Structures are given as structure tokens and as C-alpha cells.
Structure 1
């Protein structure tokens, strides 16, 4: 795995991003029926893009009709079914699209555990297939891949002295730690993102990854239960270390579109994305109430004994989104 991480002086680039040609305006969003996928589609439409939503099965198309999403989105949206692990199926879905947003949404069929080791393997396979399909599809020029902040923050406690106290887009989670602690969601996101970078390099595909904290927003617990449950495994340790970060779904969707637009001449590599870090007891209690869980699951038995060992930094994304844009509100990241 090798990430195309290029720190570029924006002043040296100069000027606003060039306006896209008409043929650049059709993009595809995988898992477009997911909580984040719907928000990404909304943001793309507000920016004047035409969107092809790729869903896993016919039942998802029917679900979209029941939710009356097509009526809200208007003529700018079409939908196709596509197998995320089948390259040929993905090529058919991507054909004619200039960009692909792979939002990486998977659901646990049991609906209980949130995310299993088997799903981590599936996530890696889907990642490889999506990037290979992007490379094979002549019209596709760039891909935005949704990873997770969890792919950046899990480290071996025995090596803390060698880990920087400021964690940013350059940091990767330790795969062995994720396996030992059965953090399958973190493992899946880490391995899937690394696989995406590996295939992108091999196929010379332009890729950017976004690593959001826990995605929140209106009714997020009910509408996004699998990812929420899976993300929160290890929540007490994240809180203790100062790494329990969240991001509103509209803001992370906005970040996807802004980064995509900037890929033409200045965006590259990874971007971590969050707008809040839960550090204080009262914040944790409020958050636990939202989740309908006991606060002790976050705080532990001695909440006053918690001290943050790390600081999260998303300066790279903040710098990119600080410039005004015509199609979306300013994304403030701390």
C-alpha cells in the first residue's frame, strides 16, 4: 500500500478550480441508499451534478421509491443495481460517469453485532473491485473513497512513546490491534482503504480518501444503526484518549463534494473529517443520551480520571474547504 500523499502549496497552484465541462457532471454514488449516501447525492445535486445511484439489489430500488426520494431529487438522479464485488457489474454502473463516490456502506444481516470479521473481508473485496472497475471504465477519471477516522487512530499501547501526540491524515491504525480487540469495523476500513490505494497505484487511477468520525445528524441512531453500533466498539478507550470524534452527515457530504471538485488541480491523498471531539463528562453524558445508552459505557467507573493522550488534527481538510464555493455552505472543521 502506498498513498499518493502530496502536500501542495495552494498559492503555487493559483486561482479557483477550473469550471468542469458538461461531460464531467455525471457521477456515480455507490451505496446511495445509505444514510451518508443519500446526503452525498443531495450535496451533488445542489452543486449541479447529475447522479447515478448504484444500489446492491432490486429491493433497494423499491425502498427508494417508498421513501419518495426520486420525487425529491427530480430528474437529475437515476438508479442502477450493481454487485459491489463484481467488476463487470460495476463497470456497467460506472459507464459514462466521470467520477465515482464509493461510500462503503455494508449492513450486518443479523442486525445485532453491527459488523463482523466476514464483513471486513467483504469490504476489502468491494474496495478492490470498485477501484479496478474505475480504472477499466474509460469515462471515469477520479474516485472519492469513504474510509473512516477509525482507520487512523488505533495503536498498540506498548508503542505509545513512538506515536505522535497529534494524529492526522498521515496516521494509520495498527491492524494487529484491531484484530486483537475484535474491532472489525476499524479493521475493515483500514484494510479496505489500503487496498484502494494499492489498486489505484497499480492502475494509475486518481483517488482521494475521506476519513470521517462517527457520522451523526437527524435521527442517525435509527437511520444508521449498523455503522453507529460498529463504530462505537471501543468507545470508552476513544473517549479516554481524546479520539471520540463526530461529524454531521451534511458536513461530511459537503466535504466529499468539495474535495471532488478540488481533485482537478489541488486535492490529493487522505483527509480526516470531524466537527466535534467529545472530551468532557457533560458532552459524553449528552452523547450517551442521544444513543440511548448508559453514560458509564463511555465514561467508565471513574470519569474524572480520564485524560486525553492525543489531539486530532484535520488542518489539511480545513485548509482546502476554507475557500468559498458557490454550491454549499462553509464546512467548519476543528
Structure 2
């Protein structure tokens, strides 16, 4: 639908890292569904983790991953003690990649789908558990994913983009949207419903992003359809306008089974339609193409923390 969506999917180099915050101007824009499908499409190409930033009782991830091999969840990562890579990996829930969701020319060797997976960091405790105080700073999630050894961090965000930017401007603070965009090797993914109200909210968000100098040129826009049929005229007009500003515009078609049954990890591959899987692959290609356009191909190595200098001990 948009430009740069046909780029070949290739594996990320081992030292490379990529961040894709999935954002929207309003709720109900399909952020979590887009994050799930993008993770499935990207996982054969990079070691992938999804960070669920929504409050537990407002998030679909605990139910989507209830039957997957369980990790300790975010509650197993206390902020007041050092964490090893094994600790962080052990807190994540593994979601298997189904064969039907793999790219047609997957660079991975042939194996069973159970050998391929991506990870989710979510709060999977019972509903009555006390809410966790999760860090708001995107840098904390970036560091957590890096310490866990993941190459691709997909953040399923919960904040409204335009409102966050305007609030940050009025308060003189950086804001979450700017902080996500400022992380190394970030390709924002902006979701919207292709309805009159959804397009209006998207256009307002795009104007605010442009006014604040945020990186629209490496932002991928996703229209997540809520009904069957082609995009309405208002969405097609918006896509034409955005194609000159954004890295790509991708249409995620309506999927009746996803709307009816969600994205439970144990559902059979037939539950996700072929055209939905194809759209997810196009989205993955668009994200990679935007990253290569902005940062180079292949992606350069991610920054590594400098070695700590030894602390001099006075001779007694």
C-alpha cells in the first residue's frame, strides 16, 4: 500500500538492535494486535521480545499468553536488585511461531515451529494482585531488553501520542513519545482505525509529530481495519497524504477470527487468515526497510556499555 513495503526480510546481524514502539493517538487502534502480528513476522529474523506497558487489567496479553509456556512475569523482576540475563529471560513468556506465519523465504533452517518463538514481558498474575509500579521511562525497557539479550524490542504502549506530546510541550518535559523516538535504532509504528474518527485522530497526531520535529520519515503507519472490504475513501486519501511523509503505510485487513477469538497462543494457524499473515510480513518488511534507510544496511552494531574502571583502593 505504501512505499518501501517490499524490502526483502533478512536476519538482523548479531550485534544489531532495533526498537519498534507501537503507538496510537487514541485507544482501540489495534496496537496490541499489531504488536502480536509484527512479533510473529519479525521473530524468524531477530530475537524478539514484546514489552506490555498496559495495566494488567486493561491488557489482552495475560489472556493471549495464558496457555503458553509461562515465565515469572514482570513481577519476577524486582527493581531493587541486580538481574542476570537468566533472570530476565526466565520472566518472559514464550510464544511459538507457527509455520504458516513464517515468511515465504525465511532465512532460518527448516525445523519444527516449536523451536521458533518470541517472548512477552507482561504481568500474568491473578487479577486481584496489587498493581505493579512499572517504569515509565522508555530507556528502562530498552536496557531491560538489552540485558535480556533480545535484538528487537516491540513496545505495546498505552499512552495517547498527540496528547502526550502536547502535555510535554506545555510542561517543558520530554514526554514518552519523544523518549521512545530518541532511543537508538528506533522505528515508530503508528496505528489507526481507517474510520472518519480514526483518521481525524491520526491526522492530528501527524501534525503534532511534524510540528515537534519527531521522525515521521522513519515512522510506519498501520491502518487496522475493523470491518470487511477495501479501505474507505477517507483512509485512502490519508494514505496518499502520509506516503510523502511517513516511511510506509500498511493496511492490516479485518480478520473475523481475531476479532471473535483474540490471539490466544494455542489457537491453530488457520485462525489467522493468509491475507492477515501477508499484511504482517509486509509490515515487518516496512519496519526493516525504514531502519535500513535511516541507519544503514546492514544495521550497525548497537552501542555497548563501557567497561567499568577499577576503583582505586588506598594503601593502608
TM class by shorter chain equals 0.3 to 0.5
Structure 1 or 2: more helix by fraction = 1
TM-score normalised per structure 2: 0.42
TM-score with structure 1 setting the length: 0.40
Higher relative contact order (CA 8 A, sep 6+): 2
